[in-house]
Amino acid sequence: MAPAPDADGAPRPAPVAPAPVAPASVEPAPVAPASVATRPRAGTPAVVARGLTKRFGETTAVDGIDLEVAPGESFGLLGPNGAGKSTTMRMIGAVSSRSGGDLRVLGLDPDTHGPEIRSQLGVVPQEDNLDTELRARENLVVYGRYFGLSRRVCAERAAELLAFAQLEDKAEAKVDSLSGGMKRRLTIARALINEPRVLMLDEPTTGLDPQARHVLWDRLFRLKERGTTLVLTTHHMDEAEQLCDRLVVVDHGRIMAEGSPAELIRRWSTREVVELRFGSDRNAEAALRLDGLADRVEVLPDRVLLYTDDGEALLARVADRGLHPTTSLVRRSSLEDVFLRLTGRSLVE
């Protein structure tokens, strides 16, 4: 049977891991330890891509992107489903070969040093793939064995990681009895069993409720404080703003903009945004009467966005024109507004 396509529309590579606990996006066994000759020099960027391209037949999933991730940095790829984020992650993870361009991960070429790179990565796939036949602690211990770690080391690290993930009291619980947030934290703990230099997270909080998301963010903040390099994909603007030191906005396999969240908002948006709702059948008409009031006006199916540096003053001018929206909201600009400005469409479409 042909492999199912992923969220980017590209076919997934065939599974290569010999055990059910292995993530689909990484090959944990056999894993060759990094030799002295292949260990990265101090100061070597964690990831460098130049003209990185991936094609599937006539479809170009990643279209000549350039990026660089510094050691200890939290770097994000922000974009909608199908933008090319997961395909890029699989090339960085040394499980999918590139079609063109150059790529170095920890100073090594993934096409020729895949096992050495994978031994230094931790991977959190988009969907949890924990072994439901094993208990929480056993998932960590068994996975650590694929990296050549001794049983003693696996047991010690499993205990430390369960504490880090706030799952000590669930060590002997079956995976199916855990909540979605607990499973996600356990998947991250499993990815840390080999003490990776780079932790890769593909949509780390998709499907979690707000409370579970904030608990997970707290764990990732702690990893940042320890100096772990994080590379993550997300289509949640608040997640990117919370976790990323720097990010790229990706659409249709291309990088649209790069910078810190604050830099991107300053460059591509205003300080505040006024959201007005007049009704789906009246928004476009109302927008014509709002012309000239704001730096920029965007009409979406359910609301009108007015970009300005003083939202409250703008609301007063809207009322002066005799316009009375059903609802109004003044908020600060976000990465959602940056994406809308760059692509002409909403990030969540």
State yes or no: pLDDT of 282 exceeds 70: yes
Q: Report yes or no on 347 lying in a domain.
A: no
How many angstroms separate the CA atoms of 158 and 170, rounded? 12
147 and 84 assigned to the same domain: yes
Asked whether residue 325 falls in the same domain as residue 232, the answer is no
Alpha-carbon gap, residue 313 to 69, rounded angstroms: 41
Residue 165 has pLDDT above 90, yes or no: yes
Cα separation, 178 vs 67, in Å, equals: 37
What count of Cα atoms within 13 Å lies in the side-chain half-sphere of residue 301? Answer: 4
Helix, strand, coil in percent for the chain, rounding step 5: 30, 25, 45
In a domain, 116, yes or no: yes
Q: Is 218 found in the same domain as 122? A: yes
- Same-domain check for residues 317 and 246: no
Q: How confident is the model at residue 251 (pLDDT cuts 50, 70, 90)?
A: very high
Band of the pLDDT at 13, cuts 50, 70, 90? very low
Q: What is the pLDDT of residue 206?
A: 82
For residue 345, pLDDT over 90 is answered with no
Total tally of structural domains belonging to the chain: 2
Q: Tell me: the pLDDT tens digits for 325-338?
A: 999 999 999 998 99
Same domain, residue pair 285 and 151: no
CATH number at residue 293: 3.30.70
Handedness of CA 163, 164, 169, 171 (dihedral sign): negative
pLDDT at 64 over 70: yes
Residue 118: band (very low, low, confident or very high) from pLDDT cuts 50, 70, 90: very high
Residue 24 reports pLDDT greater than 50: no
**Domain assignment of residue 39, yes or no:** no
Cis, bond preceding 30 (omega within 30 deg of 0): yes
Q: Give the phi and the psi of residue 191 in degrees, each rounded to 5.
A: -70, -15
167, exposed or middle or buried, with CB in 10 Å at 0-12, 13-18, 19+? buried
Per-residue model confidence (pLDDT) at position 32: 43
Q: Is residue 30 part of a domain?
A: no
Q: Is residue 40 part of a domain?
A: no
With bands split at pLDDT 50, 70 and 90, how would you rate the model's confidence at 44?
confident
Q: Give the model's pLDDT for residue 36.
A: 37
Does 13 reside within a domain? no
- According to DSSP, the residues that pair with 247 across neighbouring strands are 76, 259
CB 276 within 8 A of CB 318: yes
Count of CB atoms situated within 10 Å of the CB of 10? 22
Clarify whether residues 153 and 225 are in a common domain: yes
Q: What is the pLDDT of residue 130?
A: 96
Same domain, 308 and 163: no
Q: What's the pLDDT score for residue 348? A: 58
pLDDT band at 159 (very low <50, low <70, confident <90, very high): very high
pLDDT above 70 coverage of the chain, percent: 87
Same domain, residue pair 137 and 283: no
Categorize the per-residue pLDDT at 37 as very low, low, confident or very high, splitting at 50, 70 and 90: very low
CATH of the domain at 240: 3.40.50.300
pLDDT at 34 over 80: no
3-state secondary structure at position 142: helix
Out of 241, 260, 279, a domain closes at: 260
How do beta strands 304-308 and 296-299 pair?
antiparallel
Q: Is the pLDDT of residue 14 over 80?
A: no
- pTM metric for this prediction: 0.81
Indicate if the pLDDT at residue 349 is higher than 80: no
Look at residue 23 in the predicted model and tell me its pLDDT: 39
219 with 307, same domain: the answer is: no
Is the same domain home to 92 and 133? Answer: yes
pLDDT score of 42: 55
Q: Which domain holds residue 230?
A: 47-260
Tell whether 6 is covered by a domain: no
Position with higher pLDDT, 26 vs 117: 117
Give the domain-ending residue among 260, 279, 303: 260
- Is residue 317 a part of any domain in this protein? yes
Where is 237: in which H helix or E strand?
helix 237-243
Same domain, 236 and 319: no
Looking at the fold, whether 190 and 208 belong to one and the same domain comes out as yes
